Homo-oligomer: A and B are copies of this chain.
Amino acid sequence: MPDRHIVKSYDRDLEAIQALIMKMGGMVETAILEASQSLENRDEELAERVRANDSAVDELEERVNEEAARMLALRQPSAGDLRTVLTVMKISANLERVGDYAKNMAKRTGVLLQMAPIDGSSGAIRRMSMAVGGMLKDALDAYIQRDAELAEDVRLRDHEVDQMYNALFREFLTFMMEDPRNITACMHLHFIAKNIERMGDHVTSIAEQVIYLVTGEMPEDDRPKADRTAIEAPKV
């Protein structure tokens, strides 16, 4: 039964890649949460650790790409299996980007710890990070369980992250106008907030891949639009 043999080793290969994706996902989730923790607790050591850990995520992405390319070359997957392998590659690329944003956030935390803290900002940033971390966890669960409904829920939750970002943008503007000594810190904090908002976009993209994998169709782009600060001047 050579066919069955091929099918089985294909499944085994795919499971091995999925295990890498899950490992990557766990590491990236930790990075998001620890990056915001390091900011809130003014913990430079933790920020340093988040920065250092990112190379392990990058390595995992490379391994996923290599394994996926090997599968494509050796197993000549059918249309459905091919879609799965390509999805896996896209998901790992998105995870790598989210990890990168967490690393950048930790880098900026190092800079921010040299300045006076801005009232209430680190709590708001931690809340945003937790929202994105939760979305990421659910997006990966949705992938493993091939659960399009859960993936759709993740996609809709990105709107809340966008709203948190928009509120923070206005808050930072106000702080800067009140006291020019806040400007440098607020510029960095704003970057961090924008990075988390972008993480949310990448997680949404993972959720959309899951929907595509399960239903065969990409979701319509009826999601409320991301960053309102780009299309309306904030009223401060």
Interface residues of A, Cβ cutoff 8 Å to B: 65, 69, 72-73, 76-79, 82-83, 86, 93, 104, 107-108, 110-111, 114-115, 169, 173, 176-177, 180, 183-184, 187-188, 190-191, 194, 227, 229-234, 236
Closest to A227 in B: B104
Q: Are B108's CB and A233's CB within 8 A?
A: no
> Which B residues touch A176, using CB under 8 A?
176, 180, 183
Of the candidates B77, B82, B184, B236, the one whose C-beta lies within 8 Å of that of A173 is B184
Contacts of A115 in B (CB 8 A): 233
Most B CB contacts (10 A, CB to CB) among A65, A76, A78, A236 go to A76
- With A and B bound together, what is the CA distance between A233 and B111 in angstroms? 6
* Smallest CB gap from A226: residue in B: B104
Q: Is the CB of A73 within 8 A of B69?
A: no
Which residues from chain B contact A188 at a C-beta distance below 8 Å?
Answer: 229
CB of B231 within 8 A of CB of A107, answer yes
Tell me the minimal C-beta distance from A148 to chain B in angstroms: 20
A231 and B184 contacting across the interface, CB-CB below 8 Å: no
Give the most central of A72, A77, A104: most B CB within 10 Å. Answer: A72
